[in-house]
Amino acid sequence: MKKKGFTLIELMIVIAILAAILVPNFLRARAQGQYTQCQSNCKNIGTALEMYSTDNSGHYPTTGMSQLEGNYLKNIPTCASAGTSTVYTSSYSATTVPDSYTFYCAGTNHSAVGVGAGFPSIHLYPASYPNNLVCKGLSGPEKTGQPIIKNILQFTQNAAL
C-alpha cells in the first residue's frame, strides 16, 4: 500500500533551503534600515545645529553636542547599529573662524551595507562654500566617499536625499 504525503526528512530539507535563501535577505534589509535611520539622525542633528547657530549669531556649539539637548533636540539620537549616541558626539568638532562643524557616525557600524568607516558624515564649511553643506554618505556616492554639495535649505527641507 502506497502512502500519500511527504516524509519528515523531505519537509525539513525544504524548510532548510527556504531558510538559507531568506535569512540573508532579512539581515541585509535590517542593516539597510539601520543605516537609513542613522542618515536621518545625522540630518536631525544637522538641523539642530543650524537652529542653534541661528539663535547664537551664526556660531555653532564648540563644547560639544550637549548644548543641543533641551531646546533643539530632546536628546542626542542613538545609532541603531552601534546602540549608542556617542558615535555622533565623539566625532563632533566645530571651529569659530570660520564657523563650521563636522560630525559623522564613528566606527564601522554600517559595513553590512557596504559603507566604510565614518559614514554617514556631515561637514559644513560656510566660509569657503557659502550656503553649502557637504554631505558624505547621504546619497548614492556614499560607497565611494565622494562628497555631494547640497544647498543647506534644500538639505533641511528634503526628508530623503
Task: Give the CA distances from residue 51 to residues 5, 14, 82, in Å, rounded to whole numbers and listed in that order.
Answer: 67, 56, 26
Confidence bin at 16 (pLDDT 50/70/90): very high
Cα within 13 Å of Cα(10), Cβ side:
3
Residues 98 and 123 sit within 8 Å (Cβ to Cβ): no
pTM over 0.95: no
Confidence bin at 118 (pLDDT 50/70/90): confident
Residue 81 in this model has a pLDDT that exceeds 60: yes
**pLDDT, tens only, 23-71:** 888 888 888 998 999 889 889 998 998 899 889 888 888 888 888 888 8
